[in-house]
Chains A and B, each alone.
Chain A
Amino acid sequence: MTGHKDGEAHLQVSRYSGSARINHWVVAISFVLLMISGLALFHPSLYWMTGLFGGGPTARWIHPWLGIVLLIGFLGLFVRFFVANLPERTDWVWLARLRHVLAGREEYLPEVGKYNAGQKFVFWAQAFLVLVMFVTGIGLWPAGLAYFEQLLGFKATIDQRRLAAVIHAGAAVLTIAIWIIHVYAAIWVRGTISAMTRGTVTGGWAWRHHRKWLRKEIGKEPGGPHPAE
């Protein structure tokens, strides 16, 4: 949907529904809390961050439950967005011209649909890493592991639990690094954050960064003018 609201100078294009935004913020908030409570145990110099949760035992206790919130929340995002994140041929062109992407020279890039190749990478990488962190997180969680062992009738060896710790910590580092890039990109590309706060972006933002998607959105309007291809 596109149009002008009262008092807005620019064309506004709807990008995310209210439920998609709530879904995103559930994931974002649980992720940040997971990051803080996890990093607090990752290195002694960060242990003070457990104070934000009311102490070490509480931070330790809440972390895996937040993980379950994240898993369910991410599943929602996955179902909503995976079709729009399927790879296409122009993604490779976009990636090959990463130099221009970083320099902000959109005019050298192919027209992009709802997501560019970088956003698609973030989507698939985080989907994979959340799954890895869930499985290894259960392995790290004494009470959760006991529950699943009983439920599924197996007994994890100590070596498997050690491996779970190594993989969980490694995946956490990767997922946080990708999260930093994700947040940075949203800040660097001005006009992006309103997509997740108000659900809309300006027409100019869409023209500049996701032109193929803008054409499609405008084309969808009933009785509206049809864009020249």
Chain B
Amino acid sequence: MSQLQPAFGLAKRSATTGFVPAAKAETPVAKMIDVSKCIGCKACQVACMEWNDLRQDIEENVGVYENPHDLTPNAWTLMRFSEWENPERGQLEWLIRKDGCMHCQDPGCLKACPAPGAIVQYTNGIVDFISANCIGCGYCVKGCPFNIPRISTADNKAYKCTLCSDRVAVGQGPACAKACPTKAITFGTKDDMKKLAAERVADLKDRGYSKAGLYDPPGVQGTHVMYVLHHLDKAPLYAGLPQNPRISPLVELWKGAGKYAGLALLGITAAFGVVHHLLAGANRVTEEDEENAEKLRGGGT
């Protein structure tokens, strides 16, 4: 179960017409994941299971490092391992990305969700799924540009990383950040994390990674989980991280113009019926019609 953190004010609430955001905005927070420092030990995955009390079923070893095979309702973060031969440097690079919810400033999941309050965004930027309001429709799966939410077949609720909103609410950092032995994962205000990232990027550039940079994609107005990448220009190398993520135009159509066009068409059709009946009156069978039918049958009985 994923619960609302009353300690935070709301910036956005799914499927709520006339929603008024909290007046007092908190300082935006962020988690910064330095992919260049990650050693793929999965301590973060274990910490996430521990803190959130999640147990993924044991799977079969199919000869890859990913375990489990994908994000699941019980695995909210997953280390994804990619091998790449860098032609410039002539070396094999092992690119290990901690996958999970990016906590988009403009969350596609929230835009798609039809259930009032099933997805919220706090004023600090964290996007949370509220199980009590979730109806399990899976619209968030279609809304997300990062393919993150998963629907549980046990309770028909959507699950994903909460950015440990329950820990943040009491002044703690996320469990994964606490467990990371190399400090590849850090947590703080978004401004601080950007500063720290800038230092790391400068260091990587020094060491010859000329395209190193911070992944904070503007297409979703930035994210509250950011990556330092050695190859910012080649994001898809990192297990298919989208280069320029944005809410799909199909989702924008479905959730935007489509709604108004649809409601308008239904309203016009119903109005046509009312107006037509007022103008034309009922189409009644006359006594003459009945007599004609009797005649046709042969004079009636």
A interface residues with partner B (beta carbon < 8 Å): 2-4, 9-11, 13, 41-45, 47, 50, 56-57, 59-61, 102-104, 140-143, 158-159, 161-163, 165-166, 169-170, 172-174, 176-177, 180-181, 184, 187-191, 202-208, 214-215, 218, 224-225, 227-228
Closest to A161 in B: B142
CB contact list, B103-160 vs A, under 8 A: 114-116, 133, 135-139, 141-142, 147, 151, 153, 156
Contact A191–B136 (Cβ < 8 Å):
no
In-complex Cβ contact of B266 among A2, A170, A176, A208 (8 A): A176
Q: List 14 additional contacts besides A173-B265, A203-B290; criterion CB under 8 Å.
A: A11-B294, A13-B293, A41-B114, A44-B16, A59-B135, A104-B283, A161-B141, A165-B250, A169-B262, A172-B262, A204-B287, A204-B289, A208-B289, A225-B299
Q: Is the C-beta of B292 less than 8 angstroms from some C-beta in chain A?
A: yes
Contact B297–A177 (Cβ < 8 Å):
no
Can you report 12 residue pairs joining A to B where beta carbons are below 8 Å apart?
Answer: A13-B293, A43-B263, A47-B15, A50-B135, A56-B135, A102-B276, A180-B266, A203-B289, A205-B285, A207-B296, A218-B296, A227-B297
Closest to B146 in A: A158
Contact A207–B292 (Cβ < 8 Å):
yes
Cα–Cα, bound, A98→B80 (Å): 63
Q: Is the C-beta of B259 less than 8 angstroms from some C-beta in chain A?
A: yes
List A contacts of B277 (CB < 8 A). Answer: 184, 187-188
In-complex Cβ contact of B142 among A57, A158, A202, A228 (8 A): A158
Contact A104–B280 (Cβ < 8 Å):
yes
CB contact list, B224-279 vs A, under 8 A: 248, 250-251, 253-254, 258-259, 261-263, 265-266, 269-270, 273, 276-277
Cα–Cα, bound, A144→B262 (Å): 26
Q: Is the C-beta of B17 less than 8 angstroms from some C-beta in chain A?
A: yes
List B contacts of A56 (CB < 8 A). Answer: 115, 133, 135
In-complex Cβ contact of B280 among A2, A47, A103, A203 (8 A): A103
List B contacts of A204 (CB < 8 A). Answer: 285-293
List A contacts of B259 (CB < 8 A). Answer: 42-43
List A contacts of B61 (CB < 8 A). Answer: none
List B contacts of A140 (CB < 8 A). Answer: 137-138
Cα–Cα, bound, A161→B143 (Å): 10
List A contacts of B136 (CB < 8 A). Answer: 57, 60-61, 142
* Interface residues of B, count at CB 8 A: 56
Contact A162–B250 (Cβ < 8 Å):
yes
The answer to whether A188 and B262 touch (CB under 8 A), given A44-B16, A142-B141, A214-B293, is no
List B contacts of A163 (CB < 8 A). Answer: 250
Contact A162–B17 (Cβ < 8 Å):
no
List A contacts of B208 (CB < 8 A). Answer: none
Contact A3–B301 (Cβ < 8 Å):
yes
The answer to whether A2 and B285 touch (CB under 8 A), given A170-B258, A177-B269, is no
Contact B297–A224 (Cβ < 8 Å):
yes
Majority SS at the chain B contact face: helix
List A contacts of B258 (CB < 8 A). Answer: 166, 169-170
Contact A159–B290 (Cβ < 8 Å):
no
Cα–Cα, bound, A184→B290 (Å): 23
Q: Is the C-beta of B284 less than 8 angstroms from some C-beta in chain A?
A: yes
CB distance from B172 to the nearest CB of A (A): 32
Q: Is the C-beta of B62 less than 8 angstroms from some C-beta in chain A?
A: no
CB distance from B62 to the nearest CB of A (A): 17
Cα–Cα, bound, A227→B294 (Å): 11
Q: Is the C-beta of B298 less than 8 angstroms from some C-beta in chain A?
A: yes
Contact A188–B138 (Cβ < 8 Å):
no
Cα–Cα, bound, A22→B293 (Å): 28
Cα–Cα, bound, A182→B259 (Å): 23
The answer to whether A227 and B296 touch (CB under 8 A), given A10-B290, A60-B135, is yes
Cα–Cα, bound, A227→B297 (Å): 7
List A contacts of B262 (CB < 8 A). Answer: 42, 169-170, 172-173
List A contacts of B139 (CB < 8 A). Answer: 41, 165
List A contacts of B265 (CB < 8 A). Answer: 173-174, 177
Contact A102–B293 (Cβ < 8 Å):
no
Contact B282–A190 (Cβ < 8 Å):
yes
List A contacts of B283 (CB < 8 A). Answer: 104, 188-190
Contact A177–B266 (Cβ < 8 Å):
yes
Closest to B297 in A: A218
CB distance from B268 to the nearest CB of A (A): 8
The answer to whether A11 and B290 touch (CB under 8 A), given A47-B116, A103-B280, is yes
Cα–Cα, bound, A163→B248 (Å): 10
Closest to B289 in A: A204
Contact A57–B135 (Cβ < 8 Å):
yes
Closest to A168 in B: B254
List A contacts of B254 (CB < 8 A). Answer: 162, 165-166, 169
Contact A190–B301 (Cβ < 8 Å):
no
Q: Is the C-beta of B300 less than 8 angstroms from some C-beta in chain A?
A: yes
